[in-house]
Amino acid sequence: MSADSDPVLEADGLQKYFSQSDGIVDRILGGGGKVKAVDGVDLELRAGETLAVVGESGCGKSTLGQTLLNLHAPTGGTIRYRGEDITGLTGGSMRPYRAELQMIFQDPLASLNPRQTVGDILAAPMEVHGIGDSSEDRRDRVRELLERVGLEARHIDRYPAQFSGGQQQRVGIARALAVEPDVIVADEPVSALDVSVQAQILNLLEGLQDEFGVSLLFITHDLSVVRQVADRVAVMYLGEIVETAPVDELFETQHHPYSEALLSAVPRIDPDARGGRIVLEGNVPSPLDPPTGCRFHTRCHRVIPPADWPADQPTFRRAFTLRNRVENGEIDPKAARRRLEAEGEPAGDEAVADHIVDTSLPGSVDDLPPEAREAVETAIGLLVAGEDGEAADRLAAALPSPCTDEVPRLVEPSRGRTAACHRIDPDAPGAPMADD
């Protein structure tokens, strides 16, 4: 495949929100929240390539894959297949495209009808899409397909449960190929399988892709799988694509700090390779209420300090972590007081505030620049006095960052690569740090 080949499937500003109005989250929050599972994705899958979509669990990968195939009605944006707008097509109007756009699922057994033989499972979509002249012809094609995916043709009348997990996934692959598709979205196709079987299925997919010229969107959380199968990678975080790059380039350099953190967790062959594992702050925020500005700012180890910050960036990150914890309501002065009391320690307001600073600020407060230190101590005092909003405002004023205020643009740091981070955008607010 060529990196410059035409896009087969394109997303432009694609959004998929799920309504929570009937769910438990609604009852807790008291409002009809929207889970912003996919939120403004631009992406193109090019002819014959394998594009991996990677990111942590819950970042929206599956929803993106399913929305691209119109299995979910998109909330916004457009989807084009070979230049034709197919956004939101359903039923009969989607039928001409359905055969071209196929899906392979993570759990092969759950996606195969247990009461049908594999022969029937594979022949049914052929019949729907008018492939094969007769049922005998389709049965011959099914036998060929079974052999092509490494199964035995004589097992055509077996039921899915009579196959092993790896064999069931081979049936899933055969079913996708049965209608001679142009695009396959494979959603974690090997993550339910034993490691030894994973490699066989990945090899099979690669071989079939070359043979059939299919474009593959490969969804996975596993970067070692990405390296084996992908030509390009799109890194997803909280409903957005934060970086795209050819796979080898992404493993060499990362422009987005989230990609950098993901890649830092991949075991290196060379034990002297530079850089240790980057441990991100906190948890993935809720897609019901994603952070402002850059969605990654709450966890980003490279969050940008204000231009007049008098210390280094890691010191800012420490203070900024406390800011986030206060903003997110993660600090509970009452619990801190109870703990001190239980330990027989002094538990007056001042002691509680000191305890919170000690336990919620990474590192020592003494290492902060004087103004930041004063802001931290004042803010925690306010928090202990029950003035949560005031506390958060005080910290936001003392520890501002362009990352909380401005949504980063997707820029092209080099040909064929994109990333959305203020640090690589020459027009972005905030000065990159010398030690960055």
Using CB under 6 A, list all residues that contact ligand ATP: 18, 35, 37, 55, 57-63, 221, 287
DSSP assignment of 194-237, as one string? -HHHHHHHHHHHHHHHHHHT-EEEEEES-HHHHHHH-SEEEEEE
CB of 59 to ligand ATP, least distance (A): 4
CB of 184 to ligand ATP, least distance (A): 17
Which amino acid is located at 73 in the chain?
A
CB nearer to ligand ATP: pick between 15 and 167: 15
Block residue for tokens 């590192």? 363
CB nearer to ligand ATP: pick between 221 and 373: 221
CB of 336 to ligand ATP, least distance (A): 31
CB of 85 to ligand ATP, least distance (A): 23
Burial of 30 (0-12, 13-18, 19+ CB in 10 A): exposed
CB of 362 to ligand ATP, least distance (A): 28
Q: What is the DSSP letter of 431?
A: P
CA dihedral of residues 201, 204, 208, 214 (deg, nearest 10): 30
CB of 32 to ligand ATP, least distance (A): 12
Residue 73 · residue 87 · CB < 8 Å? no
Give the 3-state secondary structure of 160-199. Answer: HHHCCHHHHHHHHHHHHHCCCCCEEEEECCCCCCCHHHHH
User: For the chain, how are helix, strand and coil distributed in percent, rounded to 5?
Assistant: 40, 15, 40
